[in-house]
A and B are shown apart, each in its own frame.
Chain A
Amino acid sequence: MNFFEFAWSISPKLLRGSLISLELTVLAISIGFILGIPLSLGRVYGNKIIYTITTIYIEAFRGTPMLTQLFILYFGLPSIGIMFPPFTAAVIGLGLNSAAYQAEYFRGAIQAVKGGQMVAARSIGMSKIKAIRYIILPQMFRLVIPSWSNELILLLKASSIAYMIQVSELVSVGRQIASRNFRTFEVFLVIAFIYFVIVEILNRILHSVEKKIKIPGL
Chain B
Amino acid sequence: MAQTILKVENLHKSYGKTEVIKGVSFEVKKGETKVIIGPSGTGKSTLLRCINQLDSPDKGRVWLEDVEISKSHIDINQIRASIGFVFQSFNLFTHLTALDNVRIGLMRVKGIKEEEATKIAVEEFKRVGLGDEMHHYPAQLSGGQQQRVSIARALAMNPKLILFDEPTSALDPELIGEVLEVMINLAKEGTTMIVVTHEMGFARSVANDIIFMDDGIILEEGPPGDIFKKPKHKRTAKFLSKIT
A and B touch in the complex (CB under 8 A): no
* A interface residues, Cβ below 8 angstroms from B: none
* B interface residues, Cβ below 8 angstroms from A: none
